[in-house]
Amino acid sequence: MINKFNNNHSSKNVDRVKASYISAIFSRNMLICVLTGFASGLPFFVLLQLLPAWLQTEGINIKTISAFTLTQFPYTCKFLWSPLIDNFALSRLGRRRSWMIISQLVLFVFIALMGLFSPQLNITLIAVMSFAIALFSATQDIVIDAYRRELLTDSQLGLGNSIHIYAYRFSGLVPGALSLVLSEYLPWSSVYFITALFMLPAIITTLIIPEPTHNPSHPKTIEAIFFEPLIDLLHRHGLKSCLLILAFIFFYKLGDSMATSLATSFYLQMGYSKLNIGLVAKNAAFWPSLIGSILGGILMFKIGINKALWLFGVVQLTSIFGFVWLSIEGPFDHIEYPELIKLAIVIAFEALGVGLGTAAFVSFIARTTNPAYTATQFALFTSFASIPRTLINGSSGHIVAILGWTNFFWLCALLGIPGMILLFKVAPWRS
Protein backbone atom coordinates (compact mmCIF):
# COMPACT_ATOMS: atom_id res chain seq x y z
CA MET A 1 0.00 0.00 0.00
CA ILE A 2 2.84 2.39 0.91
CA ASN A 3 4.68 1.58 -2.32
CA LYS A 4 1.51 2.23 -4.31
CA PHE A 5 1.07 5.58 -2.56
CA ASN A 6 4.72 6.54 -3.26
CA ASN A 7 4.39 5.55 -6.91
CA ASN A 8 1.24 7.62 -7.32
CA HIS A 9 2.85 10.57 -5.54
CA SER A 10 5.97 10.30 -7.74
CA SER A 11 3.83 10.08 -10.87
CA LYS A 12 1.92 13.21 -9.89
CA ASN A 13 5.20 15.08 -9.31
CA VAL A 14 6.45 14.07 -12.77
CA ASP A 15 3.16 15.23 -14.31
CA ARG A 16 3.43 18.56 -12.51
CA VAL A 17 7.01 19.05 -13.74
CA LYS A 18 5.97 18.23 -17.32
CA ALA A 19 3.03 20.62 -17.05
CA SER A 20 5.30 23.38 -15.75
CA TYR A 21 7.69 22.89 -18.70
CA ILE A 22 4.82 22.98 -21.21
CA SER A 23 3.20 26.05 -19.65
CA ALA A 24 6.58 27.81 -19.54
CA ILE A 25 7.35 27.06 -23.20
CA PHE A 26 3.94 28.16 -24.50
CA SER A 27 3.62 31.31 -22.38
CA ARG A 28 3.20 34.85 -23.70
CA ASN A 29 6.74 35.76 -22.62
CA MET A 30 8.24 32.92 -24.67
CA LEU A 31 6.21 33.95 -27.74
CA ILE A 32 7.66 37.44 -27.40
CA CYS A 33 11.15 35.87 -27.22
CA VAL A 34 10.45 34.06 -30.50
CA LEU A 35 9.29 37.18 -32.35
CA THR A 36 11.99 39.51 -31.06
CA GLY A 37 14.67 36.85 -31.55
CA PHE A 38 13.73 36.49 -35.22
CA ALA A 39 13.85 40.28 -35.64
CA SER A 40 17.27 40.44 -34.00
CA GLY A 41 18.81 37.70 -36.11
CA LEU A 42 17.57 38.60 -39.61
CA PRO A 43 19.78 41.66 -40.34
CA PHE A 44 22.83 39.96 -38.85
CA PHE A 45 22.45 36.93 -41.12
CA VAL A 46 21.93 39.22 -44.11
CA LEU A 47 25.46 40.46 -43.43
CA LEU A 48 26.89 37.08 -42.47
CA GLN A 49 25.33 34.81 -45.13
CA LEU A 50 23.55 36.63 -47.94
CA LEU A 51 26.04 39.45 -48.49
CA PRO A 52 29.13 37.16 -48.86
CA ALA A 53 27.25 34.85 -51.25
CA TRP A 54 26.17 37.83 -53.34
CA LEU A 55 29.68 39.29 -53.46
CA GLN A 56 31.25 35.94 -54.35
CA THR A 57 28.82 35.25 -57.20
CA GLU A 58 29.52 38.76 -58.52
CA GLY A 59 33.26 38.01 -58.75
CA ILE A 60 34.54 39.74 -55.60
CA ASN A 61 37.66 38.02 -54.19
CA ILE A 62 37.73 36.24 -50.82
CA LYS A 63 40.02 38.82 -49.17
CA THR A 64 37.61 41.65 -49.95
CA ILE A 65 34.67 39.57 -48.77
CA SER A 66 36.51 38.83 -45.53
CA ALA A 67 37.30 42.54 -45.10
CA PHE A 68 33.57 43.27 -45.22
CA THR A 69 33.45 41.79 -41.72
CA LEU A 70 34.92 45.10 -40.55
CA THR A 71 31.69 46.86 -41.51
CA GLN A 72 30.17 44.98 -38.56
CA PHE A 73 32.18 47.14 -36.15
CA PRO A 74 29.00 48.66 -34.57
CA TYR A 75 28.35 45.28 -32.93
CA THR A 76 31.67 45.70 -31.14
CA CYS A 77 31.18 49.26 -29.85
CA LYS A 78 27.43 49.30 -29.22
CA PHE A 79 28.05 49.83 -25.51
CA LEU A 80 29.01 53.42 -26.38
CA TRP A 81 25.41 54.50 -27.06
CA SER A 82 23.62 51.89 -24.93
CA PRO A 83 23.40 54.30 -21.91
CA LEU A 84 21.23 56.56 -24.05
CA ILE A 85 18.88 53.64 -24.72
CA ASP A 86 18.79 52.92 -20.99
CA ASN A 87 17.78 56.47 -20.12
CA PHE A 88 15.82 58.11 -22.93
CA ALA A 89 12.67 57.36 -24.90
CA LEU A 90 12.32 58.62 -28.48
CA SER A 91 8.52 58.55 -28.59
CA ARG A 92 5.42 57.76 -26.58
CA LEU A 93 6.03 54.06 -27.21
CA GLY A 94 8.44 54.11 -24.27
CA ARG A 95 12.15 53.59 -23.65
CA ARG A 96 12.36 50.16 -25.23
CA ARG A 97 9.79 50.09 -28.00
CA SER A 98 10.63 53.54 -29.42
CA TRP A 99 14.23 52.52 -30.08
CA MET A 100 13.03 49.17 -31.46
CA ILE A 101 10.63 50.61 -34.01
CA ILE A 102 13.06 53.21 -35.38
CA SER A 103 15.82 50.61 -35.77
CA GLN A 104 13.49 48.17 -37.52
CA LEU A 105 12.13 50.74 -39.97
CA VAL A 106 15.64 51.80 -40.97
CA LEU A 107 16.74 48.17 -41.36
CA PHE A 108 13.79 47.46 -43.62
CA VAL A 109 14.75 50.35 -45.90
CA PHE A 110 18.48 49.60 -46.13
CA ILE A 111 18.08 45.85 -46.69
CA ALA A 112 15.54 46.52 -49.44
CA LEU A 113 17.87 49.03 -51.15
CA MET A 114 21.02 46.87 -51.00
CA GLY A 115 20.32 44.80 -54.12
CA LEU A 116 19.83 47.86 -56.33
CA PHE A 117 23.59 48.35 -56.64
CA SER A 118 26.39 46.44 -58.39
CA PRO A 119 29.27 45.05 -56.29
CA GLN A 120 31.63 45.59 -59.22
CA LEU A 121 30.68 49.27 -59.63
CA ASN A 122 29.50 50.35 -56.18
CA ILE A 123 31.56 48.32 -53.70
CA THR A 124 32.24 51.36 -51.47
CA LEU A 125 28.56 52.32 -51.33
CA ILE A 126 27.65 48.72 -50.50
CA ALA A 127 30.20 48.77 -47.68
CA VAL A 128 28.61 51.96 -46.31
CA MET A 129 25.16 50.40 -46.47
CA SER A 130 26.48 47.27 -44.75
CA PHE A 131 27.84 49.48 -41.98
CA ALA A 132 24.44 51.19 -41.64
CA ILE A 133 22.67 47.84 -41.38
CA ALA A 134 25.16 46.74 -38.71
CA LEU A 135 24.69 50.04 -36.82
CA PHE A 136 20.91 49.82 -36.59
CA SER A 137 20.99 46.05 -36.13
CA ALA A 138 23.32 46.54 -33.15
CA THR A 139 20.95 49.20 -31.78
CA GLN A 140 18.02 46.82 -32.15
CA ASP A 141 20.04 44.12 -30.36
CA ILE A 142 20.74 46.45 -27.43
CA VAL A 143 17.10 47.23 -26.83
CA ILE A 144 15.81 43.68 -27.49
CA ASP A 145 18.37 42.20 -25.08
CA ALA A 146 17.37 44.76 -22.45
CA TYR A 147 13.67 44.19 -23.09
CA ARG A 148 14.05 40.42 -22.74
CA ARG A 149 16.04 40.72 -19.49
CA GLU A 150 13.36 42.98 -18.02
CA LEU A 151 10.54 40.76 -19.29
CA LEU A 152 11.79 37.42 -17.92
CA THR A 153 12.10 36.34 -14.32
CA ASP A 154 15.40 34.81 -13.19
CA SER A 155 13.88 31.32 -13.40
CA GLN A 156 12.78 31.99 -17.00
CA LEU A 157 16.18 33.24 -18.20
CA GLY A 158 17.55 29.89 -19.38
CA LEU A 159 14.46 28.86 -21.31
CA GLY A 160 13.72 32.36 -22.61
CA ASN A 161 17.23 32.94 -23.90
CA SER A 162 17.32 29.46 -25.43
CA ILE A 163 14.10 30.17 -27.33
CA HIS A 164 15.43 33.60 -28.32
CA ILE A 165 18.56 31.99 -29.76
CA TYR A 166 16.49 29.42 -31.63
CA ALA A 167 14.40 32.17 -33.23
CA TYR A 168 17.59 34.14 -33.87
CA ARG A 169 19.16 31.17 -35.62
CA PHE A 170 15.93 30.27 -37.40
CA SER A 171 15.86 33.75 -38.97
CA GLY A 172 19.11 32.82 -40.71
CA LEU A 173 17.12 30.45 -42.93
CA VAL A 174 15.69 33.49 -44.72
CA PRO A 175 18.96 35.06 -46.01
CA GLY A 176 20.90 31.78 -45.74
CA ALA A 177 18.40 29.50 -47.50
CA LEU A 178 15.31 31.13 -48.99
CA SER A 179 17.16 34.15 -50.40
CA LEU A 180 19.90 31.98 -51.89
CA VAL A 181 17.31 29.79 -53.60
CA LEU A 182 15.43 32.83 -54.91
CA SER A 183 18.68 34.27 -56.31
CA GLU A 184 18.75 31.40 -58.80
CA TYR A 185 15.47 32.63 -60.32
CA LEU A 186 15.15 36.34 -59.48
CA PRO A 187 17.40 39.41 -59.79
CA TRP A 188 19.26 40.43 -56.65
CA SER A 189 17.13 43.56 -56.29
CA SER A 190 14.04 41.39 -55.86
CA VAL A 191 15.86 38.99 -53.54
CA TYR A 192 16.89 41.78 -51.16
CA PHE A 193 13.41 43.35 -51.22
CA ILE A 194 11.76 40.02 -50.35
CA THR A 195 14.32 39.52 -47.59
CA ALA A 196 13.52 42.98 -46.20
CA LEU A 197 9.81 42.11 -46.04
CA PHE A 198 10.61 39.67 -43.24
CA MET A 199 11.26 42.70 -41.01
CA LEU A 200 7.56 43.60 -41.17
CA PRO A 201 6.49 41.05 -38.51
CA ALA A 202 9.08 42.63 -36.19
CA ILE A 203 7.60 46.09 -36.76
CA ILE A 204 4.07 44.82 -36.03
CA THR A 205 5.32 42.95 -32.95
CA THR A 206 6.94 46.09 -31.56
CA LEU A 207 3.66 47.98 -31.86
CA ILE A 208 1.75 45.23 -30.02
CA ILE A 209 3.99 44.07 -27.18
CA PRO A 210 3.80 45.86 -23.83
CA GLU A 211 6.47 48.23 -22.57
CA PRO A 212 8.33 46.75 -19.56
CA THR A 213 7.08 48.07 -16.23
CA HIS A 214 10.61 48.35 -14.82
CA ASN A 215 11.36 52.09 -14.73
CA PRO A 216 14.58 52.96 -12.92
CA SER A 217 15.15 56.52 -11.80
CA HIS A 218 16.91 58.39 -14.56
CA PRO A 219 20.31 59.87 -13.74
CA LYS A 220 20.50 63.61 -14.25
CA THR A 221 24.15 64.00 -15.22
CA ILE A 222 26.14 62.69 -18.20
CA GLU A 223 28.68 61.19 -15.82
CA ALA A 224 25.99 59.23 -14.04
CA ILE A 225 24.42 58.02 -17.29
CA PHE A 226 27.66 56.61 -18.66
CA PHE A 227 29.62 55.57 -15.55
CA GLU A 228 27.09 54.31 -13.00
CA PRO A 229 26.57 51.00 -14.91
CA LEU A 230 30.33 50.36 -14.87
CA ILE A 231 30.64 51.27 -11.20
CA ASP A 232 27.78 48.90 -10.42
CA LEU A 233 29.57 46.03 -12.19
CA LEU A 234 32.78 46.62 -10.25
CA HIS A 235 30.89 46.95 -6.99
CA ARG A 236 28.96 43.69 -7.46
CA HIS A 237 31.74 41.51 -8.90
CA GLY A 238 35.07 43.15 -8.06
CA LEU A 239 37.85 44.04 -10.52
CA LYS A 240 39.44 40.58 -10.72
CA SER A 241 36.12 38.83 -11.28
CA CYS A 242 35.10 41.40 -13.92
CA LEU A 243 38.34 40.81 -15.83
CA LEU A 244 37.81 37.04 -15.72
CA ILE A 245 34.23 37.45 -16.96
CA LEU A 246 35.41 39.65 -19.84
CA ALA A 247 38.12 37.14 -20.77
CA PHE A 248 35.57 34.33 -20.76
CA ILE A 249 33.14 36.34 -22.89
CA PHE A 250 35.93 37.03 -25.39
CA PHE A 251 37.11 33.43 -25.70
CA TYR A 252 34.02 31.24 -25.21
CA LYS A 253 32.69 31.69 -28.75
CA LEU A 254 35.92 32.75 -30.46
CA GLY A 255 36.49 29.41 -32.21
CA ASP A 256 33.01 28.83 -33.60
CA SER A 257 32.68 32.53 -34.51
CA MET A 258 35.76 32.32 -36.72
CA ALA A 259 34.71 28.97 -38.16
CA THR A 260 31.30 30.25 -39.26
CA SER A 261 32.44 33.71 -40.41
CA LEU A 262 33.19 32.46 -43.94
CA ALA A 263 30.93 29.40 -43.94
CA THR A 264 28.96 30.39 -47.06
CA SER A 265 32.13 31.16 -49.02
CA PHE A 266 33.60 27.86 -47.80
CA TYR A 267 30.60 25.87 -49.04
CA LEU A 268 30.75 27.61 -52.41
CA GLN A 269 34.47 26.83 -52.76
CA MET A 270 33.78 23.19 -51.89
CA GLY A 271 31.72 23.07 -55.11
CA TYR A 272 28.19 23.56 -53.77
CA SER A 273 25.84 25.91 -55.59
CA LYS A 274 23.72 28.57 -53.90
CA LEU A 275 20.70 26.35 -54.59
CA ASN A 276 22.42 23.38 -52.88
CA ILE A 277 23.28 25.46 -49.84
CA GLY A 278 19.85 27.04 -49.61
CA LEU A 279 17.87 23.80 -49.87
CA VAL A 280 20.14 21.82 -47.55
CA ALA A 281 20.37 24.63 -44.98
CA LYS A 282 16.57 24.98 -44.93
CA ASN A 283 16.11 21.34 -43.94
CA ALA A 284 19.32 20.48 -42.09
CA ALA A 285 19.48 23.57 -39.88
CA PHE A 286 15.82 23.84 -38.90
CA TRP A 287 15.24 20.65 -36.93
CA PRO A 288 18.55 20.59 -35.02
CA SER A 289 17.99 24.23 -34.06
CA LEU A 290 14.41 23.54 -32.97
CA ILE A 291 15.22 20.39 -31.00
CA GLY A 292 18.38 21.91 -29.55
CA SER A 293 16.66 25.08 -28.39
CA ILE A 294 13.75 23.30 -26.70
CA LEU A 295 15.84 20.56 -25.09
CA GLY A 296 18.59 23.04 -24.26
CA GLY A 297 16.13 25.42 -22.64
CA ILE A 298 14.52 22.64 -20.60
CA LEU A 299 17.95 21.34 -19.59
CA MET A 300 19.05 24.81 -18.46
CA PHE A 301 15.76 25.09 -16.60
CA LYS A 302 16.64 21.86 -14.77
CA ILE A 303 20.43 21.85 -14.28
CA GLY A 304 21.19 25.58 -14.29
CA ILE A 305 23.26 27.86 -16.49
CA ASN A 306 26.70 26.84 -15.20
CA LYS A 307 26.41 23.15 -16.08
CA ALA A 308 24.82 24.11 -19.42
CA LEU A 309 27.85 26.25 -20.28
CA TRP A 310 30.07 23.18 -19.81
CA LEU A 311 27.90 20.68 -21.68
CA PHE A 312 26.86 22.97 -24.52
CA GLY A 313 30.39 24.34 -24.83
CA VAL A 314 31.69 20.84 -25.58
CA VAL A 315 29.06 20.38 -28.30
CA GLN A 316 29.85 23.82 -29.71
CA LEU A 317 33.59 23.06 -29.86
CA THR A 318 33.04 19.62 -31.38
CA SER A 319 30.88 21.06 -34.17
CA ILE A 320 33.95 22.81 -35.61
CA PHE A 321 35.39 19.42 -36.54
CA GLY A 322 32.57 19.04 -39.06
CA PHE A 323 34.14 21.85 -41.08
CA VAL A 324 37.54 20.13 -40.81
CA TRP A 325 36.03 16.90 -42.15
CA LEU A 326 34.25 18.59 -45.06
CA SER A 327 37.38 20.54 -46.02
CA ILE A 328 39.33 17.26 -46.19
CA GLU A 329 36.61 15.56 -48.25
CA GLY A 330 36.24 18.48 -50.71
CA PRO A 331 36.32 20.30 -53.00
CA PHE A 332 33.93 18.24 -55.10
CA ASP A 333 33.86 18.14 -58.90
CA HIS A 334 30.26 16.89 -58.99
CA ILE A 335 27.61 17.41 -56.35
CA GLU A 336 25.41 14.37 -55.93
CA TYR A 337 23.45 12.79 -53.10
CA PRO A 338 26.47 11.70 -50.96
CA GLU A 339 27.99 15.19 -51.15
CA LEU A 340 24.69 16.78 -50.13
CA ILE A 341 24.48 14.43 -47.15
CA LYS A 342 27.94 15.56 -46.04
CA LEU A 343 26.89 19.20 -46.27
CA ALA A 344 23.70 18.44 -44.32
CA ILE A 345 25.67 16.76 -41.53
CA VAL A 346 28.01 19.75 -41.17
CA ILE A 347 25.20 22.34 -41.25
CA ALA A 348 23.02 20.35 -38.83
CA PHE A 349 25.81 19.81 -36.30
CA GLU A 350 26.87 23.46 -36.59
CA ALA A 351 23.28 24.63 -36.01
CA LEU A 352 22.96 22.39 -32.96
CA GLY A 353 26.36 23.20 -31.43
CA VAL A 354 26.39 26.93 -32.01
CA GLY A 355 22.73 27.25 -31.01
CA LEU A 356 23.21 25.44 -27.71
CA GLY A 357 26.46 27.25 -26.88
CA THR A 358 24.98 30.65 -27.67
CA ALA A 359 21.84 30.01 -25.59
CA ALA A 360 23.87 29.19 -22.47
CA PHE A 361 26.28 32.04 -23.20
CA VAL A 362 23.54 34.68 -23.53
CA SER A 363 21.83 33.37 -20.39
CA PHE A 364 25.10 33.77 -18.50
CA ILE A 365 25.40 37.37 -19.70
CA ALA A 366 21.79 38.13 -18.76
CA ARG A 367 22.32 36.69 -15.29
CA THR A 368 25.39 38.88 -14.80
CA THR A 369 23.58 42.15 -15.56
CA ASN A 370 21.74 44.41 -13.12
CA PRO A 371 18.13 45.13 -14.20
CA ALA A 372 18.69 48.79 -13.30
CA TYR A 373 21.30 49.09 -16.09
CA THR A 374 20.17 46.30 -18.41
CA ALA A 375 20.87 47.84 -21.82
CA THR A 376 24.28 49.26 -20.92
CA GLN A 377 25.70 46.22 -19.15
CA PHE A 378 24.22 43.73 -21.62
CA ALA A 379 25.61 45.78 -24.52
CA LEU A 380 29.03 46.00 -22.86
CA PHE A 381 29.29 42.22 -22.54
CA THR A 382 27.90 41.41 -25.97
CA SER A 383 30.11 44.08 -27.55
CA PHE A 384 33.14 42.43 -26.03
CA ALA A 385 31.91 39.06 -27.32
CA SER A 386 31.65 40.47 -30.86
CA ILE A 387 35.28 41.66 -30.99
CA PRO A 388 36.53 38.34 -32.43
CA ARG A 389 33.78 38.28 -35.06
CA THR A 390 34.44 41.87 -36.15
CA LEU A 391 38.19 42.35 -35.86
CA ILE A 392 39.74 38.89 -35.91
CA ASN A 393 37.27 37.47 -38.42
CA GLY A 394 38.10 40.39 -40.70
CA SER A 395 41.46 38.72 -41.31
CA SER A 396 39.98 35.23 -41.75
CA GLY A 397 40.24 35.46 -45.54
CA HIS A 398 43.97 36.17 -45.29
CA ILE A 399 44.41 33.28 -42.82
CA VAL A 400 42.59 30.93 -45.20
CA ALA A 401 44.77 32.13 -48.09
CA ILE A 402 47.88 31.27 -46.06
CA LEU A 403 46.82 28.09 -44.22
CA GLY A 404 44.10 26.65 -46.43
CA TRP A 405 40.64 25.68 -45.22
CA THR A 406 41.60 22.56 -43.23
CA ASN A 407 44.33 24.19 -41.14
CA PHE A 408 42.13 27.25 -40.67
CA PHE A 409 39.40 25.15 -39.06
CA TRP A 410 41.96 23.33 -36.88
CA LEU A 411 43.05 26.77 -35.68
CA CYS A 412 39.43 27.67 -34.92
CA ALA A 413 39.06 24.53 -32.81
CA LEU A 414 42.25 25.37 -30.91
CA LEU A 415 40.99 28.89 -30.18
CA GLY A 416 37.84 27.45 -28.62
CA ILE A 417 39.76 25.79 -25.77
CA PRO A 418 40.67 28.85 -23.59
CA GLY A 419 36.99 29.69 -23.11
CA MET A 420 36.33 26.20 -21.77
CA ILE A 421 39.26 26.47 -19.36
CA LEU A 422 37.95 29.78 -17.99
CA LEU A 423 34.73 28.04 -16.98
CA PHE A 424 36.61 26.71 -13.94
CA LYS A 425 36.69 30.29 -12.65
CA VAL A 426 33.54 32.01 -13.93
CA ALA A 427 31.02 29.14 -13.91
CA PRO A 428 32.24 26.18 -11.80
CA TRP A 429 30.37 22.98 -12.45
CA ARG A 430 29.29 22.42 -8.82
CA SER A 431 28.24 25.98 -7.97
Q: When comparing pLDDT for 219 and 33, which is higher? A: 33
Domain residue limits at 199: 26-426
Q: How confident is the model at residue 13 (pLDDT cuts 50, 70, 90)?
A: very low
Predicted confidence (pLDDT) per residue in 45-80, tens digit: 999 889 988 998 888 887 788 788 788 888 888 888
Please give the share of the chain, as a percent, with pLDDT higher than 90.
30
Q: Which pLDDT does position 303 carry in this prediction?
A: 84
The residue-averaged pLDDT of 94-121 equals 93
Asked whether residue 1 is assigned to any structural domain, the reply reads no
Asked whether residue 146 is assigned to any structural domain, the reply reads yes
Return d(Cα 260, Cα 44) in angstroms, integer: 13
Asked whether residue 5 is assigned to any structural domain, the reply reads no
Asked whether residue 16 is assigned to any structural domain, the reply reads no
CATH number for the domain including 215? 1.20.1250.20
Asked whether residue 397 carries a pLDDT value surpassing 80, the answer given is no
* Among the ranges given (184-193, 331-340, 348-357), the one the predictor scored with the smallest mean pLDDT: 348-357
The residue-averaged pLDDT of 392-402 equals 77
The residue-averaged pLDDT of 230-258 equals 86
Asked whether residue 431 is assigned to any structural domain, the reply reads no
Q: Which pLDDT does position 20 carry in this prediction?
A: 57
Asked whether residue 11 is assigned to any structural domain, the reply reads no
Asked whether residue 19 is assigned to any structural domain, the reply reads no
The number of domains in the chain is: 1
Can the peptide bond before residue 119 be classed as cis, meaning omega within 30 degrees of 0? Answer: no
Asked whether residue 6 is assigned to any structural domain, the reply reads no
Taking the model in full, what pTM does it have? 0.70
The residue-averaged pLDDT of 189-201 equals 95
Predicted confidence (pLDDT) per residue in 312-339, tens digit: 899 889 999 999 999 999 889 888 888 9
Q: Which pLDDT does position 116 carry in this prediction?
A: 92
Asked whether residue 226 carries a pLDDT value surpassing 80, the answer given is no
Q: How confident is the model at residue 17 (pLDDT cuts 50, 70, 90)?
A: very low
Q: Which pLDDT does position 134 carry in this prediction?
A: 94
